[in-house]
Amino acid sequence: MHHISSINLFALLIPSLLVQVSSSPSHNNTCRSYCGNISIDYPFALKYGCGHPNYRDLLYCINNVLMLHIASGSYQVLNIDYAFQALTLHDPHLSTCNSIVLGSRGNGFVVEPWRASYLSPTPENAFLLIGCSAKSPLFQGHPSKNLPCRNISGLGCEDYYRCPAWGSIGPTDVGLVFGSGPPECCAVGFDEFGPSQGINLTKLDCQGYSSAYTLAPLKIDGPHEWSYGIRVKYSFQGHDTFCKACEATRGTCGYNVDDDNEFTDLCLCGTGNSTLNCDSDSVSNIDSLITVVKLSNIY
Ligand SMILES: *[C@@H]1O[C@H](CO)[C@@H](O)[C@H](O)[C@H]1NC(C)=O
Ligand SMILES: *[C@@H]1O[C@H](CO)[C@@H](O)[C@H](O)[C@H]1NC(C)=O
Ligand SMILES: *[C@@H]1O[C@H](CO)[C@@H](O)[C@H](O)[C@H]1NC(C)=O
Ligand SMILES: *[C@@H]1O[C@H](CO)[C@@H](O)[C@H](O)[C@H]1NC(C)=O
Ligand SMILES: *[C@@H]1O[C@H](CO)[C@@H](O)[C@H](O)[C@H]1NC(C)=O
């Protein structure tokens, strides 16, 4: 009797031992995290050494609010769409259909030059520049005084002027041709001045801005139905082959920075790190391997 019950006890222990083994650090994604209800996953990360180096020092979780920090300032991240590789951002100084924020408090959108090709507003995102001075680069160098202002995927100033926010200010000149003065509002795409210039409200000498985007070619009734915010796409080429191989062996994708500020893809395995994947023989002596697989210096 005694004998049998100890065997039964042992049989009961085996599954719990297996559970412990399978939840050991080797299967623990040490990089995935949450900020509020937004999940942070590759290529993004909140921890140093996690995610893709192109997105390092970018996201911060402050009191459960996810913030994105770039050259032009900080923006709240409302959503990360991993399937469409896009982020939806909010700028508290962004004008909407209900309020127009002037006084150059808005950020616009400028990304550090080295990061510009990995993170930029989508082509469907319209920037509606408000109260730009006549001396603004926006209005210089255009033949026969035609302005660069246009509609971006159906979003433009003619419609925006119908918003209640304009009631108190009231556009005085809504033309497309420079008449008595510059238009109150001018809509441009993010690439109007080149991706590295971005939308720099100081440089453009504008008082404020709005930003709106369309997700699908839906029938939209008017500017009160636009989505206000900044829709940003992220793209990471080349390295995700490495990451897929790493994840296929239950690793977590990360990177290492050496003393020369060079980045190396690193597969974070519970038992150690690897420059390849978590298959046992490559998870060893990373220091000697690190010199082999160097990423191009992204500075
Ligand atoms: C995974 O790692 C985190 C952070 O190190 C730790 O808090 C957690 O307990 C681990 N989970 C498992 C199942 O090992
Ligand atoms: C997170 O919560 C907010 C407010 O509770 C909600 O509006 C939003 O849709 C949620 N986002 C996600 C990704 O679940
Ligand atoms: C915006 O332009 C101003 C004036 O040219 C410049 O001083 C500033 O650094 C620019 N801001 C960013 C974020 O690039
Ligand atoms: C933008 O669209 C509006 C409404 O469809 C139209 O009236 C206007 O002429 C368009 N403006 C430009 C610059 O194409
Ligand atoms: C693996 O890499 C991560 C991120 O760079 C680092 O924090 C960790 O200490 C490394 N682990 C080992 C065992 O080298």
Q: What is the pLDDT of residue 285?
A: 46
Pocket of ligand 1 (CB under 6 A): 23, 25, 28, 30
Query: Which residues are bridge partners to 257 per DSSP?
Result: 263
CA neighbor of 223 nearest in space, from 122, 104, 88, 126 = 126
* Substitution candidate for ligand 1 out of 28, 29, 34 with most atoms within 8 A of CB: 28
Which bound ligand lies closest to the C-alpha atom of 23? Answer: 1
Residue-wise burial string across 255-279, b where 16 or more C-beta atoms lie within 10 A, e elsewhere: bbeeeeebbbbbbbbbeebbbbbbe
Residues 6+ apart with CB under 8 A from 4: none
Residues with CB under 6 A from ligand 5: 49, 254, 256, 266, 268, 272-273
Percent of the chain topping pLDDT 70:
76
pLDDT at position 183 is: 83
Return the ∠ at Cα 99 (arms to 125 and 86), rounded to 5°. Answer: 25
Rounded to the nearest whole angstrom, what is the distance from the C-alpha of residue 156 to the centroid of ligand 4? 7
Average pLDDT over residues 67-79: 97
Pocket around ligand 3 at a 6 A CB cut-off? 71-72, 110, 200, 202-203
Task: Identify which of 268, 274, 275, 284 to mutate to test ligand 5's pocket (most ligand atoms within 8 A of the CB).
Answer: 268
Q: Which mutation among 35, 37, 66 tests ligand 2's pocket best, with the greatest number of atoms within 8 A of CB?
A: 37
Q: Long-range contacts made by residues 225-229, C-beta under 8 angstroms, separation at least 24?
A: 226/97, 226/155, 228/94, 228/96, 228/97, 229/78, 229/88, 229/89, 229/90, 229/91, 229/94
CA of 200 to the centre of ligand 2 (A): 30
| Span 143-147, average pLDDT | 61
* Alpha carbon distance 85, 235 (integer Å): 7
Show the DSSP H helices in 23-116 as ranges: none
228 or 282: which carries more pLDDT confidence?
A: 228
pLDDT value of residue 196: 80
Distance 165 CA to ligand 1 centre (A): 50
The per-residue pLDDT for 194 is 82
CB-based contact 66:79 (threshold 8 Å): no
* Protein residue with its CA nearest to atom 3 in ligand 1: 30
Mean pLDDT, range 71-80, rounded to an integer: 96
Q: Mean pLDDT across the chain, nearest whole number?
A: 81
Predicted local distance difference test score (pLDDT) of residue 19? 37
pLDDT higher than 90, residue 104 = no
pLDDT greater than 80 at residue 3: no
Ligand nearest to the CA of 53: 5
Instruction: Read off the pLDDT of residues 12-38 as tens digits, 9 standing for 90 and up.
Output: 444 444 333 333 344 567 898 999 999
- The pLDDT of residue 240 is 76
Q: Whose CA is nearest to atom 5 of ligand 3?
A: 203
> CA-CA distance, 99 to 210, in Å (whole number)?
10
Range of lowest pLDDT (43-57, 154-168, 229-243): 229-243
Residue 156 banded pLDDT, cuts 50, 70, 90: very high
Map residue 299 onto helix, strand or coil. Answer: coil
d(CA 198, CA 75): 15
Q: Which ligand is nearest to the CA of 156?
A: 4
Domain boundaries in the chain?
33-234, 240-299
Q: Return the closest-CA partner of residue 242 out of 39, 97, 53, 30.
A: 53
Helices (H), the chain: 2-22, 157-160, 166-169, 201-204, 240-248, 286-290
Q: Using the atom order of ligand 5, give the atom closest to the CA of residue 50.
A: 4
